[in-house]
Amino acid sequence: MKILIVSDIHADADALDRILVKERGWDLFLFAGDAVGRGKKPNEVIETLRSLDNVYAVLGNWDYAVITGKVDMARKQEDREDVGWTRSVLTKDNIHWLQMLPLVKEITVEGKKITLVHGSPDVALYGYIYPWTDKATMRAYLKETDILVVGHTHIPVLFEWNTKTWGRRILINPGSPSFPASGAKRTYAVLDTGEWKVKIRNV
């Protein structure tokens, strides 16, 4: 089974389309939040996600700001304005889709428990997991699940923990295909369940 893993599209419909064209034949799509914010095609992104089969998605911090109008997370005036603009252009159906997204989603795939959350298991919307996050913290997150998928940082992370008790456990942050953090590339991830191998790919 081929699992497509994407996060932090931020209303960039063109980036999402490029991924879908490039990665034909996927079986499952995991989206780790922030469908909207920053970009200028929020309706197009949500409508594409809504149109696909076998998609599991969670709420991101920008999604939350847009559906609630709360802009405490926005450090810049332009970000606060962007939240307001996005709220004004989204259709009712697309706002409803965002409102229905869970903070955390757990699914079982071929006997493996996969946990999907935007930030981190303990701080769903605003937690940060970076490549330099200490290994003890990442192992602690993996004690409750076989595979943890996160986003939020816009920096890809791939951490594997081989345990004697539970076997191999994996933490994946696919990065962002639209607004990568400084020094990062535009990325997403693909998980092959044949050998449970993960590849971080450039858009």
The model's pLDDT over 3-51, given as tens digits with 9 standing for 90+, comes to: 999 999 999 999 999 999 999 899 999 999 999 999 999 999 999 999 9
* Predicted pLDDT of residue 76: 80
Looking only at the bridges linking them, the beta strands covering 55-57 and 104-109 are unpaired
Q: How far apart are CA 9 and CA 19, in angstroms?
A: 11
Between 153 and 77, the more confident residue is: 153
Report the C-alpha gap between 76 and 174 in whole angstroms.
25
Model confidence over 95-128: pLDDT tens digits?
999 999 999 999 999 999 999 999 999 999 999 9
The residue ranking higher by pLDDT, 79 or 65, is: 65
**CATH class belonging to 2-202:** alpha beta
Measured in residues, the chain has a length of: 203
What is the mean predicted confidence (pLDDT) over 48-59?
Answer: 97
pTM comes to 0.96
pLDDT at site 71: 76
Tell me which long-range contacts 86-93 makes (C-beta under 8 A, separation of at least 24).
86/11, 86/36, 86/37, 86/42, 89/42, 89/43, 90/36, 90/42, 90/43, 90/46, 90/66, 91/43
